[in-house]
Structure formats: structure tokens, C-alpha cells
Structure 1
């Protein structure tokens, strides 16, 4: 038997499979990479040796204000490691600089104070100026041009009306932006709902280039680069993390050059070959990324890349925060015919995009090819309302999956396991 321990919330789910049933185990090499220094030292080195840019302390000189865009509660960015050093570096160059931390919620719910403490620690959460971006607050936005796609580029005025714009984040595979980090802090991070909806339109989500690990030719990435440029994002500090959410590499400096080096590093670690199987077990990497069904679609897309058409995806995600998006939930719940629901989305222009449409579109794409079983803390009725199947535990899910593929004539199914679906690029 082969034993597995996969992330679920802040804990683990353990199970075993007969060796002969396992088609493959797809794991990012980031999880075995041994960092040469501590987390703090890696970030310090990156800030001391910026890529394509002067040091942050130099950029701070002569500036009255600085806005630091920071990832929100849905991202496992180790801000408690990065943010203190960014603040210190800025004040080293300019002790009087007025700093605002702008939490990049994108289209997510606002981050709570408790979550801010968890991200930054008490000292920063209680003493620094922190503003939560709310994409629906039109009065907080300012227009700075037109995206390459034709959508209006509206960004939070705290990001635009500052003397120095900085961003912290992390680099990992992303299921339609190609890779996270860099420019993504601006769009969708601190963009208006109008701009996000245009950028996440059905045409772009449907593009074969809007996939995990692809930047070249990706129309979503192209818009994001433009937004970061016109916002004058001057400096980034992005990290790569392992399965324990620990920093294993850091890249700081120019918004594009530093990001490109970080992407190249992550691509070498994250790339895995598919192991085609009738059943694929995946996760969303545990907390905080598996807080809801909305986020968990990411891990499902890793399974999509290696599951045989008509097969079964088992998604092991805590989802203690429920579905994660009212519009996302309602689109699936109200879909009496999945193909018709997909056709309706594809017929919408970028100016007709509705909230959470992209997530609905991707989940519908999956459901049209696979049965999806969730092992989750989310309510059973909620899961089933979204055309997903519910299992109380991993063993029950595996038995359900075997019955589903048996009904299609597969009597000896192979199973592929992806312990962390958001950390791999299946290619």
C-alpha cells in the first residue's frame, strides 16, 4: 500500500492506496527544495540586491508618500516576514515617509482585523496605516487609461495618488493569469470591479493561453502588465514558498524584471508531467487557499490537466468559509442545463461580465468533462446545489469515484494524486 498525507485546512487528511492503482503522484519540486538561508535572510538579500532597480531605500528618498500593496487573507504570502523589512527599508531611506498598506482584496470579501494580525503580527496590524481595498467602492477609484483589451483601467486612488508604489506578494502557478505575483498586485489586486470584470471576460477565460503557467500570448496577463505600468508600480518583493508556506526564494526590484526571474525559478520547480488516470485526487494546498469552493477551483484545474475525459476529480478542500462568492454560487445553483449555462456566459461581451463569472465558467468547463466529488467542511446541500458531489471522507469519495467510472465501463481505475494542486504546472 502507498500512504498519503495531504493538506486540508490547517491539518492533514491521511489515506492509502494499493500500489498498483497509483498512476502517479504529482508534486512540485519546491516542496523538496532546500533554501540556503532563513526566510528573513532570503528577503533581506533580495532587498539588498534588487533586480533592475535601485534599492528601495534609494527610491524612498525625497518622497512624501508610499503605498505598499499587500496580498489579502486568501493568499499564503508570509507578510510577517516581508512587510517589516519593506517598512524598515523605506524608513531607512526616508524616516518621515508617510506609508499606507493597501490590502489587495481584488474581488474578495474584506480582510478582518483578526486576519490582519495573523498576516502581519500585532505590531504592524495595530500601529501601521492599513486600508482594505473594496472593488465595489466607485468613489475610491480613479481612471488612468484604457486596457489593451479595451476595458477602462480604474484603480484605487491610494495606489495611483502616491509618490512611490510598492508591492509584496508571492509567485505560484495561476489557473488563468499563468502565474501570480508582480503585476497581479495591481490588477486585479487594487482595481475597480469594472476593470476586473472587463479583464476576466469570458473571451479571455476561454483563451487556450489563459492557462496555468502560460504568460506568452495570455490576454489576461497583457492587461495586467499594462495596469501595473500605468500605475507606476516602482518596486516589488515577491517570494516563492514551499508546502509549509515557508520562503525558499525571494526576488525584489523592477516590477517586470524581478517578476520574470521569480517566474523562471518557480517554473523549474513547479513543472510536472501528466500521469493520465481515471480518478485524480487533488487539494488546494490547505489553509488559506482552501477556505472556500471559489478558491478550490484552482486545485481542480490541476486535476483537469491529467484526468481522462469522463473521469472523476476528487477535491479535498476544507471550505470552512463556504462557497466564497454569492454570484458564483447562484450561477451554478440556477444552472438546470450546464451546457446552456456555459453558452450564456460565452455569449457575454467583456462589458457584460457579471461578478465571479470567470470562476463559474471554469467550474462549468470542468463539470462538462468530469464528475467532481468534494471532501469538505462546506454544507452538503451547498456542494450539491453547485452540481458537485459530496463525500464525508476520502475513503467514501474513492469508493464513489470507482462506482462512477465503473458505470462507464472502467473496472480497474488508475488514480493520480496531486497533494497540492495549486503548486504544480501539469504540462
Structure 2
């Protein structure tokens, strides 16, 4: 019997799979990568050797104010490590510069004070100036132009009016933008709702290039690059983290060049060969990404990439925050099934994209081909069932159900962290 440790919320579960059924464990090498330096040393080294850019210290000289974009509570960016280092470096050469930290909520709910302390550390959270981005508050936005896709580009006024705009984040595989990090700090991070919706239109989501690990010809990525350029995003610090959310590498400098170099490194760690599985097991990497069903769709796409059509996906995610988006839930729950959702969404023009459309489009795509069993003891089972998925309180219960569907000899593949791999 194979015993495998998987993340769940802020803890781990040990799950067991019969040896005769297990055909592969698809795991990023990030879990085995051993950094030779401390997190602080890695970050400082990246800042000492920026890619395609002047050093951060040079950029802040003579500036009266600046904005640092940082991720919200749904992203495990170790800001308690990165922000103190950046702020110390900035104030060493420009002690009186006005620094505002803009939380890139994108289309998500605002970050709470408790979540901010968890992410940034108590000292930073209580002593620095934080501003929350609200994508639907038009008086906080300004129209900057038109995206390559044709959608209007609305960005946060604070980001556009500051003397210096920089961003921090992390790079991991992303299920339709190719990779997180870099330009995503601007779009969707601090973009207006109209812009986010246009960028996430059904045509783009349906593109074969809008997939995990793909940047070239990815229409969503191309819009994002344009937005970052128009925002005059001058400098980024992006880290790569392991399964323990520890920094194992960092890339600083130009928003495009430094990001691309980071993506190359992530690919070298995250690319795994698919296995032919009848049952694919995945997670969302634990907290903070497994807080809701909305985010859990990401981990499902990794299972989708290795599971045979007609198979079963077992998705282990706490989902303690519920569905994660009212439109996401309503559009799934009010439909007779995933086929109806897909038929509806593919007819929606780009300029009429509705909230959470991309998420329910991808979930419907998966559900149209696979049975999905959500495993959680922290979420309302009726909510999950209403969204056309099955529910199990324990992994053992889910596996029994999966074998009942696919047979006792079914081949099982497991992805301990579905958001950390690129399945090819």
C-alpha cells in the first residue's frame, strides 16, 4: 500500500492507494529542490543582480512617492520575507519616500487584517500604508487605453499616478495565463472589473494556448503584457517557492525579462510526464489556495491533463470559504449540467463577459468529460452537489466511490500539489 502525504488547508493528510493500482506520482521537483542559501540571501542576491533593469535603489533615488503592488490573500507570496527587504533597501537610499502598498485583489474579495498579518508579518501589516484595490469602484480607476483583444483597459488610479510602480509576486504554473507572476500584478491584479472580464472572455479561455505553462501565442498573456507596459510597471521581484512555501529562487528586474527567466526555472522544476490514469487525484496545494471551490478548479486542471476521458477526478481541497464567487456558483447550480453551461458561455461576446465566467467555463469543461469527487470536511456538501460534483468527507470514501465507477483494477495517478506542476 502506497502512503502519500498531501496538503489540506493548513495541515496535511496521509492517504493510501493500493500498489497494484498506482501508476504514477506526478510531483514538481520544487519539493526536492534544496536551496543552498537562506530565503533572505536568495532575495537579496536577486535584487543585487536585476535582469534587464537598473537596481531598485537606483530607481527610487529622487522619487517622492512610489507604489508596491503585492498579491492578496489567495496567493502564498511570502511577503513577510520579501517586503521587509525591499522596504529596507528603498529607505536606505531614500528615507522620506512615501511608500504605499497596493493589494492586488483583482476580482477577489478584499483581504482581511488577519490575512494581511499572516501574509506580510505583524510589523509590516501594522506600520506600512496599505491600500486595497476594488475593481468595481470606478472612481478609483482610470481608463488607460484599449487592450490588443479590444477590451477597455481600466487600471487603479494610485498605480497610474505614482512616480514609481513596482510589484512583488511569485511564479507558478497557471491554468490559463501560463504562469502567475510578472505582468499579472497589473492585469488582473489592479485592473478594473470591465478589463478583467474582457481579458477572461470565453474565446480566450477556450484557446488551446491558454493552458498551464504556455506563454507564446497565449492571448490572455498578451493582454496582460500590454497592461503592464501601459501601467509603466518598472520593476518586479518574483520568487519561486517550494511545497513548504519557502523561497528557493528569486528573479528581479524588468517585468517581462525577469518574469520569463523565472518561468524558465519553474518549467525546469514543474514539468512532469502524464500517466494514463482512470482515476486522477489532485489538491490545490493547501492554504491559501484551497480555501474555496473557485480556486480548486486550478488543481482539477492538472488532473484533467493526465486523466483518461470518462475517468474520475478526486479533488482534495478544504473549501472552508465556500464556493468563492456568487456568479461562479449560480451559473453552475442553475444549469441542468455542464453541457448547458458550456453552450451558454461560448455564445457570450467578449465585451459582455460575466463575473466568474472563466472559472465556471473551465469547471464545466472538466465536468463534461470527468466525474469529479470533492473531498472536504469543511464545506457544505449540498453546495458541492448543486454544482454537479460529488462529495466525500474523507479520501477513503472518495476512492471507494471512484473504484465503484471505474472498477477495482482502475489505474490511479496522484498529483500531491496540482497547482505546482505542468503536465505534458
Q: TM-score, normalised by structure 1?
A: 0.98
Are 1:385 and 2:386 an aligned pair? yes
Aligned partner of 2:415 in structure 1 is: 418
Are 1:205 and 2:205 an aligned pair? yes
Q: 1:154 deviation in Å?
A: 0.3
Secondary structure at the residue paired with 1:20?
coil
Secondary structure at the residue paired with 1:19?
coil
Are 1:73 and 2:70 an aligned pair? no
Task: Tell whether the 8 Å contact from 2:172 to 2:180 is kept in structure 1 after alignment.
Answer: yes
Aligned partner of 2:396 in structure 1 is: 395
Aligned partner of 1:182 in structure 2 is: 182
d(CA) in 2 for partners of 1:89, 1:342: 50
Task: Tell whether the 8 Å contact from 2:166 to 2:236 is kept in structure 1 after alignment.
Answer: yes
Aligned partner of 2:111 in structure 1 is: 111
Aligned partner of 1:138 in structure 2 is: 138
d(CA) in 2 for partners of 1:19, 1:65: 59
d(CA) in 1 for partners of 2:8, 2:161: 41
Secondary structure at the residue paired with 1:390?
strand
Q: Deviations over 1:206-243 (max 9, x none)?
A: 00000000000000000000000010000000000000
Which ranges of structure 1 fall in alignment gaps of 5 or more residues? none
Q: Deviations over 1:46-67 (max 9, x none)?
A: 1111111111111001111100
Q: 1:92 deviation in Å?
A: 2.0
Aligned partner of 2:46 in structure 1 is: 46
Secondary structure at the residue paired with 2:110?
coil
Task: Tell whether the 8 Å contact from 2:337 to 2:388 is kept in structure 1 after alignment.
Answer: no
d(CA) in 1 for partners of 2:5, 2:257: 37
Aligned partner of 1:293 in structure 2 is: 293
Which ranges of structure 2 fall in alignment gaps of 5 or more residues? none
d(CA) in 2 for partners of 1:129, 1:4: 43
Between Structure 1 and Structure 2, how many residues are aligned? 423
Q: Deviations over 1:271-330 (max 9, x none)?
A: 000011100110000000000000000000000000000000000001111110010000
Q: 1:337 deviation in Å?
A: 3.5
Q: Deviations over 1:374-396 (max 9, x none)?
A: 11121010110100100110000
Q: 1:84 deviation in Å?
A: 0.6
Q: 1:338 deviation in Å?
A: 2.3
Secondary structure at the residue paired with 2:136?
coil
Q: 1:14 deviation in Å?
A: 1.2
d(CA) in 1 for partners of 2:92, 2:58: 9
Aligned partner of 2:216 in structure 1 is: 216
Which runs of 4 or more aligned residues in structure 1 lie more than 6 Å from their structure 2 counterparts after TM superposition?
none
Are 1:327 and 2:327 an aligned pair? yes
d(CA) in 2 for partners of 1:244, 1:157: 36
> What are the within-5 Å matches in structure 2 for residues 181-330 of structure 1?
181-330=181-330
Task: Tell whether the 8 Å contact from 2:234 to 2:254 is kept in structure 1 after alignment.
Answer: yes
d(CA) in 2 for partners of 1:126, 1:34: 33
Q: CA RMSD in A?
A: 0.7
Q: 1:246 deviation in Å?
A: 0.3
> What are the within-5 Å matches in structure 2 for residues 347-386 of structure 1?
347-376=347-376, 377-386=378-387
d(CA) in 2 for partners of 1:27, 1:338: 29
Task: Tell whether the 8 Å contact from 2:103 to 2:130 is kept in structure 1 after alignment.
Answer: yes
d(CA) in 2 for partners of 1:310, 1:17: 20
Secondary structure at the residue paired with 1:66?
strand
User: Which has the higher mean CA deviation after the structures are superposed, 376-385 or 205-214?
Assistant: 376-385
d(CA) in 2 for partners of 1:281, 1:53: 42
d(CA) in 1 for partners of 2:132, 2:169: 16
d(CA) in 2 for partners of 1:212, 1:151: 23
